[in-house]
A and B are shown apart, each in its own frame.
Chain A
Amino acid sequence: MLLMDSPVLQVTDLTKAFGEVRSVDGISFEVGKGEILGLLGANGAGKTTAINMILGIVTPSAGSVQVFGEELHASRIKILSRMNFCSTYTQLPGNLRVWQNLKVFGKIYRVPQLSRRIDEVLEMLEISHLKNRVSGELSAGEGTRLNLCKALLNRPELLLLDEPTASLDPDIADKVRKVVSRIREEEGTSILYTSHNMRDVEEVCDRIVFMHKGTILFTGTSEETLKHFEKDSLEDVFIEVARSGGIASRKKEGEP
């Protein structure tokens, strides 16, 4: 399934400093067509900041973001219309109904045959029964699934998911992972995925980028990562990296 001809997303030496704090410090990675790349790292590692730069909501201090072969800052609007995102940090307006929210964003993303597409995405995330509910009344997990519906509306070629399973119960989290895998299979969507749930990462990600304090410690498949850190599970890798401050990584490069 991996077609790595020209990457859909290419991040080069990306850096963001907020005053003294270097949240993201010279990271480079790429996501190929139809690839799911996991972005891992402890709280504050810089994952969300990296995603925000790829969305153009935060301006990089240095480095570049290329999407679909074009510089993000040069063709932001054109690029954004072909991608989408879902983040635990945002909500859709709580005072609108589920279908109203999807209709508004569907129009913004110029989704053809919108009503049909809305029914489709609601079905995909199994919340068709919530279509007429007021968004603010949904449970956290239902809200997350609504966010995902919004993210899938325009059949994005690049999808950024920032902790999409954060507030989901194990059953729904499993379903969401299946949806993510499915749209990749069916539509060849490229996906950048952050999560603190190692199960997510093992199950859906083709490769992992391990971040620590704004830098990348290692990039590779989960087997390669386990081997590199000499651990049995990603969870152990995670804990060791977090506690040893990244010393666990012997070599600081890591392109496979």
Chain B
Amino acid sequence: MNFGTVQALVMRYLYLYTRTPIRAVELLFWPLVHLLVWGYLTMFLQQNTDDSFPYEITFLIGAVILWDVLFRAQQGVAIFFLEDVWSRNLLNVFAAPVTNADYLGSTYAVGLMRAGVTVTMLSVLSIFLYSFNIFSLGWALLPFIFNLLIFGWALGMISTALIVRWGPAAETLAWAVPFFIQPFAAVYYPVSALPVALQWVAKSLPCSYVFEGMRDTLKTGEVDWASLGIATGLNVVYLAVAGILFVRVMNVAREKGLLTKFSSQ
């Protein structure tokens, strides 16, 4: 990976925002709407239930914030590629001295930035609006976020691979990828709320351990390092598989001339 190349590709992406600040609205608007809806729902439920209130509900706001890490990272990777598709710039980039690693590195950086922006906004707002402090997770917050980022990158690469292989026809599919896994990700409810068969699906997703771990840690104050370890292990596998998929799809694209005939699919 060449740092200068990554820097150039990321710069291209940032120029988009300086040129048209309205783009930033998309980045801030939806997370904000989510936070408001789930935040007030949480407050309402808390006010109207007795003390036997399930602790999962208390941490719905934390779930909203952490889900956004995964979602923004995935989007960052997928949109980065789509920007090149939309602006007919794909050939310029892939006929330039840009390796797969350079390209993926830039998409990761953009995913990281997008996640950073929304998570900061949501974390600060949730303190003021709902007195919910995600930072009370302490240092454990970092490995939690890091695991979600990696999984988001992996999902983003899978989305991009789908778009390269199936063309604009797969664009909407790529947007939906995070939502396919959301029901099994244990974001808002514990894995145990799922039927047994589906629990296995949940257990194969690194993010379910993160969300469970987040709730446990907030409740007990003890960091569940075992879950974090499993999440990290699974993430390594997902990232490797997604990377291999991406490289293979790029090779297929070169075989079939997909990069040059992008709009025909």
Contacts and interface: CB of A to CB of B under 8 A. Distances in A.
Interface of A: 16, 18, 48-49, 52, 55-59, 77-78, 80-81, 85, 87, 89-97, 100, 103-105, 107-110, 134, 150
A95 B88 CA distance: 11
A59 B20 CA distance: 37
Interface in B1-38: 4-5, 7-9, 11-12, 15-16, 19-20
A221 B5 CA distance: 40
Contact of A58 (B84, B89, B260): B260
The secondary structure that dominates the B interface is helix
Interface stretch (B40-48, B95-103, B169-177): B95-103
Contacts of A94: 87
Contacts of B192: none
A57 B16 CA distance: 26
B248 interface: no
Contacts of B4: 107-108, 110
A89 B7 CA distance: 26
B255 A59 contact: yes
A18 B253 CA distance: 12
Contact of B260 (A57, A91, A93): A57
Interface in B182-224: none
A148 to B, nearest CB: 13
Nearest to A81: B97
Contact of B92 (A48, A90, A95): A90
Contact of B91 (A78, A90, A108): A90
Given A58-B254, A59-B254, A80-B96, A104 B88 contact: no
Given A18-B256, A91-B88, A95-B20, A104 B8 contact: yes
A29 to B, nearest CB: 20
| Interface size range of chain B in the complex | 20 to 34
The secondary structure that dominates the A interface is mixed
Contacts of A134: 19
26 contacts: A48-B260, A49-B257, A57-B91, A57-B95, A57-B259, A57-B260, A58-B254, A58-B257, A58-B259, A80-B96, A81-B97, A89-B88, A89-B91, A90-B88, A90-B90, A92-B92, A93-B87, A95-B19, A100-B12, A103-B11, A107-B5, A107-B8, A107-B11, A108-B5, A109-B96, A150-B92
Contacts of A58: 254, 257, 259-260
B11 A80 contact: no
B95 A55 contact: yes
Contact of B96 (A48, A78, A96, A108): A108
Contact of B9 (A48, A92, A108): A108
A96 B92 contact: no
B136 interface: no
Nearest to B10: A104
A91 B96 contact: no
Contact of A91 (B89, B98, B99, B255): B89
A192 to B, nearest CB: 13
A91 B97 CA distance: 17
Contacts of B83: 93
A79 B89 CA distance: 20
Given A80-B95, A107-B5, A92 B20 contact: no
A146 to B, nearest CB: 11
B265 interface: no
A96 B7 CA distance: 16
Contacts of B89: 90-93
